Amino acid sequence: MTRDLFSDAPDAEPPRGKEAIGPASFVLRGFALPFADALLPALGEVERRAGFRHLVTPGGFTMSVAMTNCGRLGWISDRRGYRYGEHDPATGAQWPAMPAVFERLAQAAAAEAGFEGFRPDACLVNRYEPGTRLSLHQDKDERDYAAPIVSVSLGMPATFLFGGLARSDKAARIPLVHGDVVVWGGPDRLRYHGVLPLEDRAHALLGSRRINLTFRKAG
C-alpha cells in the first residue's frame, strides 16, 4: 500500500530517505527537520528586515505567491523584467544576510544529493497560502547553471510539479511535506517546475502557510 504523505493522522511519522526523481534530482524526505528549530526564528528575522510582498511580472500580472529574499543577491520581478540585485527595491537597503542555519542546510542538502561545495548567494523565500500556486517555469536568471537548486518546504503540504526541459513535457506530481528538501542540478538544472494550488491543511507550527526556501548561486 502506498503511504499517504499528506496524512493527518496524529501518529503518522514523516518518511525519511532520498528519492530520485531525475538523473540528478532528488527529494530528501525530512532532511530539514533537524534544522527546523533554528530555521523559523531566523526566518522571522529575515521577514522583519525585508517583508513579504507580491511582485509584478513583466506582463503586468501580480504573483499570488508572496516573497522576500536574503543573501548577497535577491530575485526581483517588475515591469522591467526578471533579475537579481543587491538591494531591496522597496527600501533601498541591502537584502538581509543569509542566516548561518540557512546556509548550513543548503550546503548539507546539496552534498547529500551529490553536489559538493555548493555556496549559495541568494535565498528566495516564498510564502504560500490556501489557493496559491506557482506556474511551471525554469530557474534561468542565474549567471551560469553549474550549481544546483535547493528547495526547502516548511509548513502546509504541497504538490510539486517537476517537468522536463520543455514546457510541454509531462510533469510528475510529487507530494511535499514539512521538512522535505528537493535538489536538482546537472542535466536537470533547467527542468520546468511549479506548485499546484494549495489546499488549506494547516500545519501545527505555521498554520495555513507554506514557506519555501529556494537556494541558488546567482552571481
Q: Would 52 be classed as within a structural domain?
A: yes
**Residue with the three cell numbers 527595491:** 89
Confidence of residue 13 (pLDDT cuts 50, 70, 90): low
Q: Is residue 128 part of a domain?
A: yes
Tell me the pLDDT of the chain averaged across its residues.
Answer: 94
Q: Does residue 87 lie in a domain region?
A: yes
Cell numbers for 33, please give them.
Answer: 527537520
Per DSSP, the residues of 131-149 read T--EEEE----SS-S-S-E
How far apart are alpha carbons 152 and 150 in whole angstroms? 7
The gap from C-alpha 116 to its chain's centroid, in whole angstroms, comes to: 19
Name 19's Cβ contacts closer than 8 Å, sequence gap at least 6. Answer: 26, 27, 29
Closest CA to 150 of 210, 187, 102, 196: 102
b/e 158-183 (16+ beta carbons within 10 angstroms → b): bbbbbbeeeeeeebeebbbbbbbbbb
* pLDDT for 12 beyond 80: no
In a domain, 1, yes or no: no
Number of domains composing the chain: 1
The angle that helices 100-112 and 36-49 make with each other, rounded to 10 degrees, is 130
Residue 9 pLDDT grade (very low, low, confident, very high; cuts 50, 70, 90): very low
Is pLDDT above 80 for 11?
A: no
Percent of the chain with pLDDT strictly greater than 70: 94
Q: Model confidence over 81-111: pLDDT tens digits?
A: 999 999 999 999 999 999 999 999 999 999 9
Decide if pLDDT at 8 tops 70: no
Give the model's confidence band at 73: pLDDT under 50 very low, under 70 low, under 90 confident, else very high.
Answer: very high
- The predicted pLDDT at position 2 comes to 33
Q: How many whole angstroms separate alpha carbon 167 and alpha carbon 136?
A: 7
Could you tell me the residue range of the domain that residue 26 belongs to? 17-216
pLDDT per position as a tens digit, 153-196: 999 999 999 999 999 999 999 999 999 999 999 999 999 999 99
What distance in Å separates the CA atoms of residue 109 and residue 180, rounded to the nearest whole number? 10
In a domain, 49, yes or no: yes
The CATH number covering residue 138 comes to: 2.60.120.590
In a domain, 7, yes or no: no
d(CA 218, CA 143): 6
* Residues contacting 7, CB < 8 A, separation 6+: none
Question: What is residue 42's three-state secondary structure?
Answer: helix
37 within a domain of the structure (yes/no):
yes
- Lowest mean pLDDT segment, chosen from 7-16, 40-49, 110-119: 7-16
The answer to the question of residue 194 being in a domain is yes
Q: How far apart are the C-alpha atoms of 71 and 2, rounded to whole Å?
A: 39
Q: What is the pLDDT of residue 16?
A: 82
